[in-house]
A and B are shown apart, each in its own frame.
Chain A
Amino acid sequence: MDLGTPPGGVLAIEAQHPPEGNAFTFGGAVEAAKAYNHKDATASKTIAGYAVLNLFAEYQPPGVEGLVIRAEVNNLFDRTYADRATYGQDFNSITPLYEPGRSVQLVASMRF
């Protein structure tokens, strides 16, 4: 009805840890949504649940003040999914806007 999306249950877990004695930080996140098993108003289908895993590793070279090199993999298992807040997932006639599949990034940043 164009007045709101039904989000249902959405879960996020995020953690990071720098093991002692080296220059690395490791972390990851899970983004998940529960299956939405209602078909209200003019909806033509229910919405499947999803769970996506993102991982990263950061390296801070001890010799260079402020430099961080970060490698990350998002959507590690290459799930095809639309964020739960995306419009149109409950209609057969609409292909929702999917989030990116597995993506790999290497980022170097310098703070000064």
Chain B
Amino acid sequence: MTVSLSYVNTQASGMWDPRLVLGWSKVDIAVDQPDIPPRIVGPGVSRGLNKTFSARAENRFHLSDVNTITAGIDYYDKESTYSDLTYGPVTEKASNVGLYVQARLEPAEGRSTSFGLRWDDQRFTGISGWKGDFSGLSGNLSLDGEIFLTKIDDARDRVIMNDLESRGFNLGLGYGWEGGYLRASYSQSKIRVNGPGTDS
């Protein structure tokens, strides 16, 4: 069973665009583990019960139509319990609080970049009762480019008809200054003929 509530104003702009998500889920799975004669005695039923609560609150700052900075906090609390005829029940728990900032910028038409930073603190309780508390910072950077897919049906190679497909992406990054520049591009592509890859 899953229940989730979310709030977002799709018309929002400017410096006030709060978003809120709350979620609860409870998943109970039981799998029969029958005996397999003559040697294996099954453990009856394997049962796993997972309960999760999660929440996220953030605000999106619209610097312009295409440039935004999002800052927020998220949280989850999970508890998993396992049992069968011969083992358990055993339970482990994890909870995590995260603070994050993420910028999505479009410096030029069709070129978008995204980078962000987050700090997480996770508290974990293992099945033995062992407790751990871990925290740390993490960052991310992504540059969007183009993704391409070209399909050609019935291309003739002598008397054989072939279907071709070329797919991949191009990433570009450029920075210019008075009289100088740095440009980098990366292209990854794959060509397939009649399904699998091909030779040249």
Contact = CB atoms under 8 A, between A and B. Distances in A.
A10 B196 contact: no
A72 to B, nearest CB: 17
Interface residues of A, number: 29
B193 A4 contact: yes
A14 B200 contact: no
Contacts of B111: none
B182 A3 contact: no
A64 interface: no
A18 B100 CA distance: 40
Nearest to B180: A17
B183 A3 contact: no
Contact of B166 (A4, A42, A89): A4
B22 interface: no
| B contact residues, range | 20 to 34
Given A17-B180, A18-B180, A5 B197 contact: no
A15 B177 CA distance: 11
A12 B170 CA distance: 11
B188 interface: yes
Interface in A1-41: 1-18, 25, 38, 40-41
B198 A4 contact: yes
Nearest to B185: A12
Contacts of A1: 157, 162, 193, 198-199
A11 B196 contact: no
B152 to A, nearest CB: 9
A15 B200 contact: no
Nearest to A45: B199
Interface of B: 155, 157, 162, 164, 166, 177, 179-191, 193, 196-200
Interface of A: 1-18, 25, 38, 40-43, 87-91
